[in-house]
Structure 1
Amino acid sequence: MTGRDAPYHVHEVSEFTFECGQTLRPAKIAYQTYGELNADKSNAILYPTWYSGRHWDNEWLIGSDKALDPGRWFIIVPNMFGNGLSSSPSNTPPPYNGPRFPRVNVRDNVESQYRLVTEVFGISTLKLVLGWSMGAGQTYQWAVSHPEMVERILPFCGSPRTAPHNQVFLDSLRAALTASVGFDGGWYPPDQWPVGGLRAFGRIYAGWGFSQAFYWDEVWRELGYTSLEDFAVGFWEGFFLDGRDPNNLLTMLDTWWAGDVGATPGQKSTEGALGSIRARAICMPAEKDLYFPPEDEEWAVSHMPNAELRVIPGVWGHFAGGGPNPVDTAFIDAAVAELLAGPSGI
């Protein structure tokens, strides 16, 4: 069984100390698996979630007709801290509930996933780590934090370091949500979310998630919407009103804002961290992504020893990596198949 209603697993770490110095007792890592781990534990793939995404939101790239075939691979999809399934402001008891939830960085997520992969499954090598958007950021971080373990990476529509322009966008989201009537410093009642702020959050996202050309050509009609306003309300406002708690969104937003593999302990710069990656890599920005433009990832690839830049063509912008467009899905799937069929980097 797959999808939103399928049972999933939770790994509890009795004490998990975040880099900010705060400790959850316990921390919970929710995850889903697809396929079976083979006897020598050599067929494992890790596919982290993205900003506000849950494990079922990654299933569009998994299937018997895809390179991520559960009949061959054991695919683990861990949920990020703050997404409402793993430990989050919305599901953590006092005193670390709501706005008191620890500040989370990308390395905290990767460390929790490392604990999951090694403690629960006894896996020592990952054939592939891949992910979209913030999942791509975690992918880069995995290759820097555990170079001896990661054979291949395929980050798509994401980056190893959050760019200043991207941070400006994130700051606008934070401002819209925290200024909302009813936000109350994050201490709103669980059943009384600041809906106005969530709708404004969606409206800001609407100008970034898809490209200018996507709107010019009215490609939103391919998703079944009848007008621009129908798309803005039905897709974007609806997206953030669908079980996405505001404090959870702010926790993940802070994680995104501070993303930088160069801040990894032992590393002195982003360039140096990228140069330490041993995994074979195909890095896949989207042609018209406003968050993670191809030139940013061209810079990243120039500092990696075993990496290729492969741009996803088309007008879908950031959501070229989100699964709604079968053409882009096929393009990404082909790269996954190629990477898995080729040599590893370790």
Structure 2
Amino acid sequence: MTMIKWFLLAALAYAMAVPFTRPVIAGEFADVLDTPALPSELAVRSTLTGLTHAGERLVAVGQRGHILYSDDAGQHWQQAQVPVSSDLVAVHFPTPQQGWAVGHDGVVLHSSDAGQTWTRQLDGRQVGPILLEYYQQQLASQPDDADLQHRVSDAQRMVEEGADKPFLDVWFENDQIGYIVGAFNLILRTDDGGQHWTPLLERTDNPSALNFYALRPVGDDLFIVGEQGLVLKLDRASGRFNAMPTPYNGSFFGITGKPGVALVYGLRGNVFRSTDGGVSWTKVELGLPLSITASSVTADGRIVLVSQAGHVLVSSDDGASFHIQPNTTMAPVAAAQVANGSSLVLAGTRGLRQLPLE
């Protein structure tokens, strides 16, 4: 992979580059995977791309391994201790204490103290060998399987490429079972809190190996969205992610909703709504031709979407229609979370900021 623009994930000027090194002092270099994130008073205003709740706490992740947390609904932030300086993209806490963050260079980080300190569980130097060992074992029992032969070949190539394995989203069902997804159909599952990871590449309806941009549940359904209108839903009985056709063939960046209502959103203001578990989709007209890059749901059930430029759109009818909240200061946005029920915390290229909700 040469370069995948973070613009495709969040429609912002942020590039997903191949692994790189950063000078430490003149004549010396250190891999970002071996370089802890530096404390910085400017971290709160740097590019931040992921945002989530850890109980009542907010946790944000972004460039250079920056992770910040807030205990006052986003008014003040503290920087966490992080063992890498790779760019981070997404974060999720299934419990107030246990959380995971993912990003470039195949990084998977884990926190057991609500985001104050982090340890590395996985990186891109290990991903290729994990895939190769797994699919070689599968091929040994099915030596004539052409698909497995192809996956072994791909895994060997990934080993040779090194750490260039960007993960773009993470979601955990509880503190043991979780999924990570990324570029070119990359998807793994853990059943032991990230101690071991199992590849699921053969369990997705994604023959073109399109990029996965987001992984989120709506009600009891778990969805993945990505390039070219790709929407997949987990069939828990078979463990397979099945394609759910949509009327749109552009990129989707995210999923939101609540039990009985799912929305997928992406490029050029395209939002589609389903009330039957993804079997059929209806376009939601926003009247805004800008990409939708973030979402959240309020405690009273309002659905909030945010555009790449920072427009805040709110629905009070389960996503059937949206109105633009007036008097919103524009700034690029990558992630959003409702805080205290009456405010919205936004993360993007200008760092973190707080807005009142109508």
Q: Shorter-chain-normalised TM-score: which range?
A: under 0.3
TM-score, with length taken from structure 2: 0.27
TM-score, with length taken from structure 1: 0.28
More helix by share: 1
Tell me which of the two structures has the higher relative contact order, counting C-alpha pairs closer than 8 angstroms and 6 or more residues apart.
Answer: 1
More strand by share: 2
